[in-house]
Amino acid sequence: MIRHRYVLGEFRSPAALLEALPAVRDGRHGEIEVHSPFPLHGVDEILGWRPSPIPAIVLAGGTMGLVTAFLFQWWCNAVDYPLNVGGRPLFSLPSWVPIMFELMVLFGSLAGFFGLWALSGLPSPFHPTGRLERFRSATLNGYWIRVRLRPGDDEGALDRRLRELGAIYVDRVEGEELP
């Protein structure tokens, strides 16, 4: 496992964090993450993140469910066991719509659920920053920037820079992430 080094800075408010974020990004350090008790609008644009692929994953899953339901019903009703009841055609698309809709919703939701897990790196049973007692405030009332340093990056320089930008608490963590 690879050992990573992190520098974390806590800010008083979302506005203070959003003000400091461009300067931290321009410092050319490693991966930057923002932790807060609620979504902070504007972080995506500041960090240059691309749009989420989740909608495309859900669309692909829904389409797969729709096609699966159609092909399964077509095979059962028209090919494998054709049974003419009351003059009903073997290819009866209107009667298949409810099942096609339900399978589309099921496959789409499962694709979205597991796609989000995969993209988020879940399940992740442990992260080194979990050892910091103060970092637990990120789920209640804390606004944090976490920077994973690359080999050769100066921890002290980033520590000082975060304090200059208004961080009320700065700490360093080193450890291994479990897959």
> In the chain, pLDDT over 70 holds for what percent of residues?
97
Decide: 32 and 145 in contact? Cβ < 8 Å: yes
How sure is the predictor about 91, in pLDDT bands with cuts at 50, 70 and 90? confident
User: Which of 4-8, 27-31, 167-171 is predicted with the least confidence, judged by mean pLDDT?
Assistant: 27-31
H helices, E strands: number in the chain: 5, 4
User: Cα–Cα distance between 65 and 59 in angstroms, integer?
Assistant: 10
How sure is the predictor about 113, in pLDDT bands with cuts at 50, 70 and 90? very high
Q: What is the pLDDT of residue 132?
A: 86
Which phi and psi (to 5°) does residue 76 adopt?
-65, -45
Domain boundary among 75, 92, 120: 120
Q: What is the pLDDT of residue 1?
A: 61
Residue numbers of the domain that contains 23: 3-50+122-176
Beta bridge partners of 3: 176
Q: How far is CA 7 from CA 100, 159, 178, in A?
A: 50, 7, 19
Specify the length of the chain in residues: 179
Residue 120 tokens, joined: 């988020």
CATH label of the domain that carries residue 39: 3.30.70
pLDDT at 126 over 80: no
Q: What is the DSSP string of 88-114?
A: --SS-HHHHHHHHHHHHHHHHHHHHHH
Work out the burial of residue 143: count CB atoms within 10 Å of its CB; fewer than 13 is exposed, 13-18 middle, 19 or more buried.
Answer: buried
Q: What is the pLDDT of residue 179?
A: 55
Domain boundary among 88, 104, 120: 120
pLDDT at 96 over 80: yes
Is 92 in the same domain as 59? yes
